[in-house]
Chain A
Amino acid sequence: MGIDSKQFVIFSKPFIDAAKNVFETMAFTSLQTGKPIIKKELDPKGEVLSRLKLSGVHTPTKKEYEAILTLSCSRETYLNIASAILMEEIRDYDDDYMQIGEELIKMILGSAKRDLTGLGFSSYADENQNQNYPYSSTVVEVPIECSHGKMYFDIYYNDVLGQ
């Protein structure tokens, strides 16, 4: 399946900008984003992940869309991020700290929403972490580096009627 790269860039930029803002504010680190690549394997590269699904309408084109955002990283990076956010050393990964990733991705969505609205995207979130990509999806991975380690921001975007 092809990907409308222009639309993808327009859609994904608010999330990248929001992620930079959220991590700088909450985890005291600057994100350096690498070159986006189209994923061959859809599984996230990181072992710890936070995910949410979005749907809505792009008003200028009147097209319905759906999107899935996945932020993943290694367990070590996750604990580094959790430690920075909580200002204490976190060594063990448990349910309470699992919430950090969920909170971060919700904050990213919240921050991105303002820009998305300005670009004509309405957006409704489904916070179920167990979303799967539709069959033969195109997913773009944005590699991210920061002082806490490497992360991967996977973005799936598609016009629902274009499938």
Chain B
Amino acid sequence: MGPNIGIKILIVDDKLTMRKVIKNMLDELGFKNITLANNGSEAWTLLEQASSGGDPFEFIISDWSMPEMSGLDLLNKVRDDDNYKTTPFLMITAEAEQSNVLVAVKAGVSNFIVKPFTTDVLKEKINKINF
């Protein structure tokens, strides 16, 4: 069984098109509470603001490959923060490289998805995460 459709989700991708594609997919899956961040720094600011306001994000979907703060950098920051230590984190990558997966798993990623992917694959990946 998947998470509640009202769960507070943050999508992080430096490419507008991918943010839109992922948001469209989540819309299609019925999720209602979605925020978009266009890089890791903006994501971190939003995450901090949400937790200090007492309403932290409950699920983070982030691209791996972003300038300045990569998805892995963001994951490390998130896992170092008491408010987001266990928040589900889905990492998106264009390259199915074993080394990426292992590093991300070590850093505490919840699941991994390789581009390109369908809405069904995204749903399957989300449903495998423990919320």
Q: In the complex, how many angstroms separate the beta carbon of A131 from the nearest chain B beta carbon?
A: 19
A86 in contact with B94 (CB, 8 Å): no
Residues of A within 8 A of B24 (CB): 86-87
What is the interface of chain A, defined by CB distance below 8 A to chain B? Answer: 21-22, 25-26, 82, 85-87, 96-97, 99-100, 103, 106-107, 109-111, 113-114
B115 in contact with A107 (CB, 8 Å): yes
Contact residues on B (Cβ < 8 Å of other chain), bracket: 10 to 19
Measured CA separation A106–B14 after assembly (Å): 14
Q: In the complex, how many angstroms separate the beta carbon of B30 from the nearest chain A beta carbon?
A: 16
Measured CA separation A95–B126 after assembly (Å): 31
Residues of A within 8 A of B94 (CB): 103, 106-107, 109-110
* From B15, B21, B95, B97, contact of A26 by CB (8 A): B21
B21 in contact with A86 (CB, 8 Å): yes
A111 in contact with B20 (CB, 8 Å): no
Show 30 A/B contacts (Cβ-Cβ < 8 Å), sorted by A: A21-B116, A22-B116, A25-B116, A26-B116, A82-B17, A85-B17, A85-B21, A86-B20, A86-B24, A87-B24, A96-B17, A97-B17, A99-B15, A99-B16, A99-B17, A100-B17, A103-B15, A103-B17, A103-B18, A103-B94, A107-B115, A107-B116, A109-B94, A109-B95, A110-B93, A110-B94, A110-B95, A110-B115, A111-B96, A113-B95
- Specify the chain A residue showing the minimal Cβ separation from B16: A96
Tell me the chain B residues, 112-131 only, with Cβ under 8 Å from chain A: 114-118
Residues of B within 8 A of A100 (CB): 17
Q: In the complex, how many angstroms separate the beta carbon of A57 from the nearest chain B beta carbon?
A: 17
Measured CA separation A111–B97 after assembly (Å): 10
